[in-house]
């Protein structure tokens, strides 16, 4: 599980670096010239007069979202696997959309990110399937000696009864329970 988590975090880091760099490049140079694109390649959709909106989407979806997923994974949160899967699916859809819908002429780059998205989706699904299983960082077994040690006598509570023990009878049979 540790190597799966580490590999997933590494893939998320690569995606985050690429997404942040490309997103910032498109936001700071909306003409797309800094990354070898021209405005003529964009479809005639509203809000797409330049690369500012795609750059902002690229920065948020593939610059920031992978960082959030990686942080959740480092904290051993089950949400990390879901977020990693979501980033992978988004990357697959983004790559397909660039080639099919927009018709970008860099199929090698889109193919690389498509494969990276499929790998990340698989890692996220595989890691998500192991949520709740024993993790090598948290060994199974006893937690703390005093918490599991039932033979140690406990001081009585304020009613004079031993702490942690079950009292006989139903709650209605005990006068102090009412």
Model confidence pLDDT, tens digit, residues 25-61: 999 998 888 887 777 777 777 667 788 888 999 999 9
Q: In the 8-state DSSP scheme, what is residue 102? A: I
d(Cα 60, Cα 156) in Å, to the nearest integer? 57
Number of H helices, E strands in the chain: 6, 0
Q: What is the pLDDT of residue 170?
A: 55
Model confidence pLDDT, tens digit, residues 127-146: 878 766 654 445 445 555 55
pTM score of the predicted model: 0.68
Model confidence pLDDT, tens digit, residues 62-87: 999 999 999 999 998 889 999 999 99
**Across 66-75, 93-102, 110-119, 148-157, least confident range:** 148-157
Q: Do residues 15 and 66 touch, judged by C-beta distance below 8 A?
A: yes
What is the domain partition of the chain in residue ranges? Answer: 2-129
Q: Is 92 helix (H, G, I), strand (E, B) or coil?
A: helix
More confident residue, 165 or 80: 80
Mean of per-residue pLDDT scores for the chain: 79
Q: Report CA Rg, the chain.
A: 27
């Amino acid at each position: 599980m540790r190597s799966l988590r580490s590999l997933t975090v590494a893939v998320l880091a690569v995606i985050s670096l690429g997404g942040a760099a490309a997103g910032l490049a498109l936001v700071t140079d909306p003409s797309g010239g800094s990354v070898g694109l021209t405005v003529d390649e964009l479809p005639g959709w509203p809000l797409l007069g330049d690369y500012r909106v795609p750059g902002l989407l690229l920065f948020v979806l593939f610059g920031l979202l992978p960082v959030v997923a990686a942080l959740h994974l480092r904290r051993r949160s089950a949400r990390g696997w879901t977020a990693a899967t979501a980033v992978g699916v988004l990357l697959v859809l983004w790559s397909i959309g660039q080639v099919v819908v927009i018709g970008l002429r860099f199929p090698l780059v889109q193919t690389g990110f498509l494969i990276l998205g499929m790998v990340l989706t698989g890692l996220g699904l595989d890691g998500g399937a192991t949520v709740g299983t024993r993790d090598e960082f948290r060994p199974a077994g006893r937690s703390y000696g005093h918490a599991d040690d039932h033979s140690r006598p406990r001081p009585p509570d304020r009613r004079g009864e031993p702490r942690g023990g079950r009292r006989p009878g139903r709650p209605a049979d005990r006068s102090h329970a009412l």
